[in-house]
Amino acid sequence: MQAYDIYAPWYDLQNDMEDIEFYQEMAQHYGGPVLDAGCGTGRLLLALAREGHSVSGVDTSQEMLEVARRKVALEAPEVRERIQLSFGDIRDFRLKERFNVVMFGCNTFQHMLTNAEQDQALQTVRAHLKDHGRLFLQTTNIKFHEHDPDVLYHRGREFNQQTQEWVDSFYSYRYFQHVQIQQFTLFLDVAAPDGTVTRKQVVLNLRYLFPPELERLLHANGFELEALYGDFQRGEVTRDSPWIIAQAIKRP
């Protein structure tokens, strides 16, 4: 079972970010249809569909997609009909539709750990973009996420209304500088209604990119970098920026 299949029931409790308004503005400006590459539980996808956009989502975790499908089923009919969900790997999925906007939200692209995987993912989404379509690629900024590798941090305690379970989460980071990969280990102590506690472990490996590297990577795969943002208010990228968000246009 892959990491996100384990994490799926608790993902939305721990990943409520301030990115939705940014992506709504981008979709409104450039128009749909929109592709959410690595859509997970549909957090961004649903927000865009509610605004009237046609949105397709692709993800490699069946459990995350199942959460997304349950959420979509609760929406009004006019919202449901704007959404398509597909199982697929962002390195080689194939959809018939072509899009005006493609999003790699959160840290999706950072799961591409090798140069070859990065190229494959960018070539795949490029093939799904219309001419002069826009790509938004979001990565976390390593300077913002430096942690002591010998410390186990308490992330928080949440209640899952659907399962009636409490979850205490703890995490650690370890950074392998020579390959620019950070290993994020998340421990979930899940307390069932009967008091039974089960520990689940999720290990995620994320590759970090620096702005010059990101620009070169985009250019090599048929994109032209238009802007780099350090946050969702479109601030410049600095040492302390939480994010590096690239906006690129598909070259002919």
Of all helices (H) and strands (E), which one includes residue 130?
A: strand 129-140
Sign of CA dihedral 54, 133, 64, 228: negative
Per-residue confidence at 83, pLDDT binned at 50, 70, 90? very high
Laid out side by side, the sheet with 129-140 consists of: 83-87, 55-59, 34-37, 99-104, 129-140, 243-250, 223-229
Residue with tokens 């600095």: 238
- pLDDT tens profile 131-151: 999 999 999 988 655 667 777
Nearest to 10 by CA among 194, 211, 172, 165: 165
Render pLDDT for 5-60 as a digit per residue (tens, 0 to 9): 888 877 777 666 688 999 999 999 999 899 999 999 999 999 999 999 999 999 99
pTM, whole model, 2 decimals? 0.90
The span from the CA of 4 to the CA of 53, in Å, is 26
Q: Using CA atoms, how far apart are residues 137 and 129, in angstroms rounded to an integer? A: 14
Q: Helix, strand or coil for residue 177?
A: helix
pLDDT tens-place string over residues 185-225: 989 899 988 889 989 898 999 999 999 999 999 999 999 99
Positions of E strands within 153-242: 153-160, 165-176, 181-191, 197-207, 223-229
* Structural domains of the chain sorted by starting position, each given as residue range(s) with its CATH number in brackets: 3-142+208-250 (3.40.50.150), 144-207 (2.20.25.110)
